[in-house]
Amino acid sequence: MIKKFNVGYKLISLLLCTLTIINAQETEDPPRIVTLPGPNVEGIPATTKVGTYPDSDFTKLLSYSLYFYEAQRSGILPPNNRVPWRHNSALKDGEEGFDLTGGYYDAGDYIKFTLPLSWTLSMISWGGIEWFKGYELSGQEKYLHDMVKWGTDWLIKAHSLETNELCVEVGIDKIDHNYWGSDQNIPLPRPVFKVGDDVHGTDVAAETVAAFASSSILFKDKFGELDYAKLLLTHAKRLFEFAELKPMDVYSKQVPEAILYGARRYQDKLVWASLWLYRATGEQIYLNKARQYFVLFAMKGYMQIINWAEKTCATFILFAQLTNGTNFMDELTWKSESENYLDIMINPSLLPGNRCSYTPGGLLWCTGDSEFNSLNVALNIAFVSLIYAPYATTEEKKKKYKDFANFQIMYALGENPKKHNYVVGVNPKSPQNPHHAGAHGSVNNDLLSPVKTTNILYGALIGGPGVNDDFNDDRTQYNFTEVSLDYNAPWQGLMAYQVLNYIPTIPKPKPPTNEPKKSKDIPSSNNNNVSNNDTPIVSSGRKTGIIVGTSLGAIFLIIGGLFAWKHSTILKWFGKKREEIDKIVKRNNVGNNRRNSSSIHAESNLPHHIP
């Protein structure tokens, strides 16, 4: 009897397995973001199975961003250089006694600027401090270390501890912007511009202080490089002395050649620098200075975007971080400033006359700034939204800040009306023509020759779309396709956050449909979108019916086969059971000529199945 039950059990198991296979065939994996092969170099994470944590889309995107920064390197490249088309370059930068080789080219040209570089290093250090685990999960901590150190090593060269002079620019636009070619023929001369005792530059000095201080925390707390962190902090403190010298002014007034990165204000940068010095040293004097400058410069309630030129509202977030869990009223003050800012930026209609709004596709847009780098405007605010979210006063606000940031991230990755992905080298909808001389590969100083970009600038986040979500993939239109150190600064931190916090979704069942797929929707094996019109196209509903019918038919064939194989045994067993039934019926009919079928069923131990 046990064997007979086993046969039935196996048949049921076979049916369940068949249904499981059917269900598996009727589900679809979430679409991948990264679908193109990445750079064939070490350090790029492998693609993992959908549903695996961490999600390989974001580990790859984080690694690509770090690769982009390597493509911006100047000077003598290290032996482990991963960018084959980047060479040793600009080896004569500086002047006698002032070596300025190394560092990063700012954008698609070959000028080096201290102000946007310092902002970039501050943002990347901030993201590294907060979400370092994301770098570890991606195997990118080494590349983060090298990326930041390549920048801070150059800043150390650019700042003299003895004279407190600071180099603010190497190269000049009127020479550099007449050249469009590789890094092997960068035109000369490459003049050097500095600020110092006689040429004040409060803004650029304070910004560089923040870069030194924030990166010192990263090297001390995350990499354990105490001596290097101490050196960075020494430069930060010394340069802060210069930043506080009077008369205070923006450096572009003193160095008109630096007009490409001329900030309107220096006040915000003094508060920014003071806060980072406090965070790096724990010395109360710097927090006191930050408070004093904040009041002196009437920064309360300020509403402005956040970028290399303007960081007043970023100080709200940093104040909130540094005072959290201290004096209740102090904590409440900075949380109120932060939430007032974020609430209005996320819902611009709360402020009458607000120049910020949303594009039809949902990208945050601030008129007057977004025209030139729309994604950077939105992503900087997304970055501080995620920094602040853990400190929010309500769960509703925390969720709102996270949802806003996630939407802006996914917009940049293709969830927009045009389905454009704005990161180079990620998928077929990525930009093909970033405004970048080295990547383009022209040999005749021509933005249009060759037509196609020669080298893929993996990981570069371009300027972004227009106010109507429109986009022109044209390297001559730099407002759409420009790349820059500071464009990737919030992006890299956001990718580290996503690696750490993005939970992959389980594939959902495909929705049933009676409509056949169009032939163009059937992917070809070589990704050339070539369809075979001779192949019949079956709807998912019909496909399910075919699979179920075929599977059940197979089960009945198995049952029939078993009967044919053991028919004599089965008939013998059945005959024996009939004899047992007849005996029971005869016994129950003694003294009672009327048959009670219910009593037979109640007293019988016969199985109710045919083995």
Give mean pLDDT, residues 528-541. 34
**Within this chain, do residues 62 and 162 fall inside the same structural domain, yes or no?**
no
Q: How far apart are the first and last CA of the chain?
A: 8
| Residue 215 is assigned to a structural domain of this protein | yes
pLDDT of 167-187, one tens digit each? 999 999 999 999 999 999 999
**Within this chain, do residues 164 and 222 fall inside the same structural domain, yes or no?**
yes
Give mean pLDDT, residues 269-273. 99
Q: How many domains does the chain have?
A: 2
52 pLDDT band, cuts 50/70/90, is very high
Q: Which residues are the active-site residues?
A: 473, 482
Residue with more model confidence, 599 or 190 = 190
| Residue 198 is assigned to a structural domain of this protein | yes
The pLDDT, as a whole number, for residue 565 is 54
The pLDDT, as a whole number, for residue 46 is 96
Q: In this predicted structure, which of 17-31, 61-75, 99-113 has the lowest mean pLDDT?
A: 17-31
The pLDDT, as a whole number, for residue 258 is 87
Long-range CB pairs of 252-259, under 8 A, 24+ apart, other chains included: 254/195, 254/199, 254/200, 254/201, 255/168, 255/169, 255/193, 255/194, 255/195, 255/199, 255/201, 257/169, 257/172, 257/191, 257/193, 258/113, 258/115, 258/168, 258/169, 258/193
The pLDDT, as a whole number, for residue 553 is 55
- Output the DSSP codes for 538-549: --HHHHHHHHHH
261 DSSP assignment: G
CATH code, domain carrying 186: 1.50.10.10
Q: In this predicted structure, which of 11-20, 110-119, 362-371, 493-502 has the lowest mean pLDDT?
A: 11-20
The answer, yes or no, to whether residue 541 has pLDDT greater than 50, is: no
H helices of 282-356, in order, are 284-296, 312-323, 328-346
| Residue 89 is assigned to a structural domain of this protein | yes
The pLDDT, as a whole number, for residue 15 is 52
**Within this chain, do residues 93 and 145 fall inside the same structural domain, yes or no?**
yes
Q: Percentage helix, strand, coil, to 5, in the chain?
A: 50, 5, 40
Copy the structure tokens of residue 33.
């973001």
pLDDT of 84-102, one tens digit each? 999 999 999 997 778 999 9
**Within this chain, do residues 109 and 237 fall inside the same structural domain, yes or no?**
yes
The pLDDT, as a whole number, for residue 328 is 85
| Residue 344 is assigned to a structural domain of this protein | no
**Within this chain, do residues 65 and 102 fall inside the same structural domain, yes or no?**
no
CA 54/CA 72 separation, integer angstroms: 28
**Within this chain, do residues 48 and 145 fall inside the same structural domain, yes or no?**
no
| Residue 131 is assigned to a structural domain of this protein | yes
| Residue 548 is assigned to a structural domain of this protein | no
**Within this chain, do residues 126 and 96 fall inside the same structural domain, yes or no?**
yes
Last residue of a domain, one of 264, 285, 300: 264
**Within this chain, do residues 65 and 108 fall inside the same structural domain, yes or no?**
no
Cα torsion for 238, 242, 245, 251, to the nearest 10°? -160
The pLDDT, as a whole number, for residue 13 is 52
pLDDT of 364-377, one tens digit each? 999 999 999 999 99
> Please, what is the average pLDDT of the chain?
85
Instruction: Determine the length of the chain.
Output: 611
**Within this chain, do residues 374 and 477 fall inside the same structural domain, yes or no?**
yes
Q: Which single residue is written with the structure tokens 């304070």? A: 206
Q: State the amino acid at position 193 in one-letter form.
A: F
User: By percentage, how much of the chain surpasses pLDDT 90?
Assistant: 74
564 pLDDT band, cuts 50/70/90, is low
202 pLDDT band, cuts 50/70/90, is very high
Domain range spanning residue 418?
Answer: 30-71+355-506
| Residue 449 is assigned to a structural domain of this protein | yes
Give mean pLDDT, residues 498-515. 66
The answer, yes or no, to whether residue 507 has pLDDT greater than 90, is: no
| Residue 593 is assigned to a structural domain of this protein | no
The pLDDT, as a whole number, for residue 323 is 97
The pLDDT, as a whole number, for residue 503 is 87
CB of 239 closer than 8 Å to CB of 213: no
Residue with more model confidence, 8 or 409 = 409
Last residue of a domain, one of 264, 290, 305: 264
22 pLDDT band, cuts 50/70/90, is very low
Last residue of a domain, one of 471, 506, 541: 506
Copy the structure tokens of residue 250.
């923006």
The answer, yes or no, to whether residue 524 has pLDDT greater than 90, is: no
**Within this chain, do residues 46 and 87 fall inside the same structural domain, yes or no?**
no
The pLDDT, as a whole number, for residue 326 is 87
Pairing state between β 27-28 and 192-195? unpaired
**Within this chain, do residues 38 and 161 fall inside the same structural domain, yes or no?**
no
CA distance readout (Å), 404 to 54, 407, 499, 567 = 22, 5, 17, 69
pLDDT of 432-465, one tens digit each? 999 999 999 999 999 999 999 999 999 999 999 9
5 DSSP assignment: H
The 3-state DSSP class for residue 95 equals strand
The pLDDT, as a whole number, for residue 562 is 52
204 torsion bin: left (phi>0), alpha (psi -120 to 50), beta (else): alpha
- Output the DSSP codes for 277-303: HHHHH--HHHHHHHHHHHHHTT-TT--
**Within this chain, do residues 260 and 376 fall inside the same structural domain, yes or no?**
no
566 pLDDT band, cuts 50/70/90, is low
Give mean pLDDT, residues 154-162. 98
